[in-house]
Amino acid sequence: MTFSRRGALAAGLGLLASGGLVRAGFAASAHQPNHPNFYFGADLSYVNEMEDCGAVYRQGGKRIDPYQLFADTGHNLVRLRLWNNPDWTTYSTFDDVRRSMRRAKASGQEVLLDFHYSDDWADGDKQWIPKAWENIPTTEGLAAAVYHFTFDTLTKLASEGLMPHMVQVGNETNKEMMGRKDWKWETRSTDWVRNAALFNAGIKAVRDAGKATGTDPKIMLHIAQPENGEPWFAKAAEAGVTDFDYIGLSYYRKWSTQGLDGLNATITRLSATYKAKVIVVETSYPWTNDGADEAANLLGPDTLIKDYPATPNDQLRYLVDLTQGVISHGGVGVVYWEPAWVSTSCKTRWGTGSHWENATFFDFKRGNEALPAFGYVRYPYVWPKMS
């Protein structure tokens, strides 16, 4: 089922006040428990950097720890990216991730650790091999490197009580994992013998690390945009990549051929085809078309969906409608990408500030005051009956 626009509009009346969550249109109280089998997540990989750059997050005008705010509003999963050995930033490294995991644990949330297997952004358009592995000539050698890096990282974290609840083996791996820069991507077909060896090495490392530490981290494989999910997982299964617990999908309307109905249909089919459960592990929506800095907004007017203008209440309404669709079609989670990547005086490689401040959960026009979007977690969703 889907929400009526009238029902979703009620969600748009939500706001955050200093005393807690206030939702004039919500039948449920602010303390309504979440469904125990659903992940409400947020990728908070940028928080350490933003705070080091002077960012202050507020609720009701008062400064607040963003991790605690997400936990207090019902979020139960923090997603964090990990690069191998970036030489251009000190963030999303092992030490930075460990710092973030401690904050997540202190707030009572679980962690999804996202191995990019790259020194830089790995996504649906590019998958670059880490510099330290560039001269490894064989697939077997690369698979061994993936295994040891994954196993060592997880066992180190476990030794400090920080084993993640869930692990992504790769990030938006639409293209062949750990590609080489001399490849002609536009004409190259994925070498599934090589690709499967690398995935299976990472998967085995997660399973082995769990056994070695007496834990049981779950495994996610992640593809960008729902239209790419079914073809990719069919090829992966044919190549022998079968041992995973979750299918992660990114969904950004700007870069997808599918509307919400197409996303929902894909979730239904994937859930019926594989034992793995489906999570929309990246999504975002702008609450304004304005910007706070010179860094261009990645989610501009061209990302908007009809009937969801760029306003705070419509950002919330989009999240409510998307989440109800995920729930109704068999999905088990929604993770919002970078709701805390606010504007600061720090620079990216492309400008000063943030490229995402208009799609965060914080209003830069009011000193990074928490936006109504936080209210989507506590919405009184219609849940399927438990069998």
pLDDT value for 1: 33
Domain 5-378 has CATH 3.40.30.10: no
Q: For residue 173, what are the contacts with CB-CB under 8 A and spacing of at least 6?
A: 122, 127, 199, 221, 222, 223, 232
Residues 231, 228: Cα–Cα separation, whole Å: 6
CA 193 from chain center: how many Å? Answer: 28
**Per-residue confidence (pLDDT) for residue 181, from 0 to 100:** 86
Residues 383, 327 contacting (CB under 8 angstroms): yes
Tens digit of pLDDT for each residue in 84-134? Answer: 999 999 999 999 999 999 999 999 999 999 999 999 999 999 999 999 999
Q: Please tell me the pTM assigned to this model.
A: 0.93
Quote the DSSP letter at residue 368.
Answer: S
Q: Which residue ranges of the chain lie beneath pLDDT 50?
A: 1-31
Distances (CA, A) of 114 to 218, 267, 343: 12, 21, 24
pLDDT, one tens digit per residue, over 41-94 is: 999 999 999 999 999 999 999 999 999 999 999 999 999 999 999 999 999 999
Active site residues: 172, 282
